[in-house]
Chain A
Amino acid sequence: MGLSDEQLKTGLKTGVISAVGPAIAVLAAMLALIAVVGGPVAWMRLSVIGSVAFELPAAELGVSQLGFGFGEDGITETAFATAVWTMTLGGIGWLVVAAFGTPHMEKARRKIVGGRETLLPIVTAGAMLGAFAYFVSGEVTAGAPETGSVAVGGLVMLSLLKIADENDVQWIREWALGTSMAVGLVVGMGVHMVAGGGW
């Protein structure tokens, strides 16, 4: 169909090479998921189906059904199982939409966007920001160390993305989440040592 072997090889090679950086970044963020749901579940959810941006919030929603938060004492096996069920049930949504919706994507896209080409990204941003505003608020109301961790995590992300954009460096973008996570963690621990937990 007019694709040369050369183009196919280039396509595969670029796909493989471009995956290395993001996959290592996923691995770094997997540490957070290992800390809260353990190795096997974290590995399975991030190798197939999921992403850190969904699995971590879903696990949090699961344990909070029994009134727990991550890192709290006395968190039960039942809370862990609720997290696993919540991640599983939440993750099938994408699969079901892909299974039945993919053949109709072009039609659906035209219908939804229908001359309002710029509205779709706005709704997407609104939905993601609303959801993560909820998760961030839960952390901010939990105490000073969590607030420090949220704020510094966010600021490091903004600074790194700014540097990456100004100099057009892709690997900084790939490492932005891992770095923000590490610096935020250290700040959270620091605040805890100085001021103690809670507000």
Chain B
Amino acid sequence: MSSPSGSGESVYESDFIPSINRWGRITSLLAVAFSFGPALVLLAVFEIIPPTGAIVGGFVSVVTTFGIIWFIEPISYYPVLGIPGTYMAFLSGNISNLRLPCAGAAQESADVEAGTPRRSIISTIAIAGSIFVNIAILTIGALALVPVFEALPEFVRNALESYLVPAIFGAIFAQFGRDYPKVAAVGFAIALVMTVLMDLGFFAFLPGIPIYAVIVVSVFGTIYAAKLMWQRDMIETSS
């Protein structure tokens, strides 16, 4: 740690980062393989196989809602996370709500300059620490929460199944919409009209359950509206 920063930085570029890129790719792809575990257990042990059409439909819906985010998030976050931190964060999840604040706070308190290898080392260490904390708390919590949930009376469980999710959706929508209220209003109007039209059977001519039509129009319509507003200086971008 006491070597002059010059030689340390060249070792960082010439040895450390190539090795991180190799191991980062291997671990990420292993995670892809292992993430199929629960689905394969359902298939092999419980012999529950959803219809192919439902799996394809689910995949298409998730690609249209989150496909853009797959690319935007790594690009937006990596200046803070650094290269090793990016692999670790996308493997461990909970990025915007957990890894990013932890990395940012650690860089702030260790007082490292922006855009240096030192910064990404601190981010790496902080993310590693946060992973242990997150897994420990969730594991203990899950073991405690599941029996509590199962012991609840039927009507409370039904209420949890029905009304927790809308509250979370409303809260997350408000959180993102806070900085861009006009975009939020336009997006909500588009999505509501599309949903009502679908419920009334206007998209019955489309194959399958036409959720994907509603999603495509909602997501891309809102992005387009946001871009138009940006071009016309209707959005303050100081935040």
Contact = CB atoms under 8 A, between A and B. Distances in A.
Nearest to A117: B237
A94 B195 CA distance: 28
Contact of A84 (B38, B98, B178, B196): B38
Interface string A2-39: 11110110111111101110111111011110111011
Main secondary structure of the interface of B (DSSP, over half): helix
A169 interface: no
A71 interface: yes
B121 A1 contact: yes
Given A109-B75, A138-B195, A188 B166 contact: yes
Contacts of A137: 188, 191-192, 194-195, 214, 218
Interface in B71-104: 71-76, 78-79, 83, 86-87, 90-98, 101-103
A152 B170 CA distance: 8
A1 B130 contact: no
B82 to A, nearest CB: 10
B205 interface: no
Nearest to B62: A90
Contacts of B105: 14-15, 18
A172 interface: no
A65 B161 contact: no
Interface string A62-95: 1011110011000001111111111011111111
B114 interface: no
B204 interface: no
B168 A35 contact: no
Nearest to B133: A19
B222 A126 contact: yes
B134 A135 contact: no
Contacts, number: 527
A125 B176 contact: yes
B163 A61 contact: no
Nearest to A61: B61
A125 B180 contact: yes
Contact of A129 (B28, B29, B169, B184): B184
Nearest to A120: B76
Interface residues on B, range: 35 or more
B149 A4 contact: no
Interface string A153-178: 11111100100000000000000110
Contacts of A29: 168
A157 to B, nearest CB: 4
A14 B130 CA distance: 9
Interface string B8-49: 110110000000010011001101100111110011001011
B137 A27 contact: yes
B74 A60 contact: no
Given A15-B130, A102-B86, A156-B171, A130 B218 contact: yes
A103 interface: yes
A149 B170 contact: yes
B170 to A, nearest CB: 3
Given A11-B106, A31-B145, A93 B66 contact: yes
Contact of A1 (B5, B37, B199): B5
Interface of B: 1, 3-5, 8-9, 11-12, 21, 24-25, 28-29, 31-32, 35-39, 42-43, 46, 48-51, 53-55, 57-59, 61-63, 65-76, 78-79, 83, 86-87, 90-98, 101-103, 105-112, 117-118, 121-122, 125-130, 132-135, 137-139, 141-142, 145-146, 149, 157-180, 183-184, 187-188, 190-192, 194-196, 199, 209, 211, 214-215, 218-227, 230, 235, 237
25 contacts: A7-B110, A15-B130, A44-B37, A53-B172, A65-B50, A71-B165, A77-B48, A82-B50, A84-B42, A88-B35, A97-B70, A102-B74, A120-B72, A123-B227, A124-B69, A127-B72, A127-B222, A127-B223, A134-B214, A135-B169, A153-B166, A153-B167, A161-B178, A177-B97, A181-B168
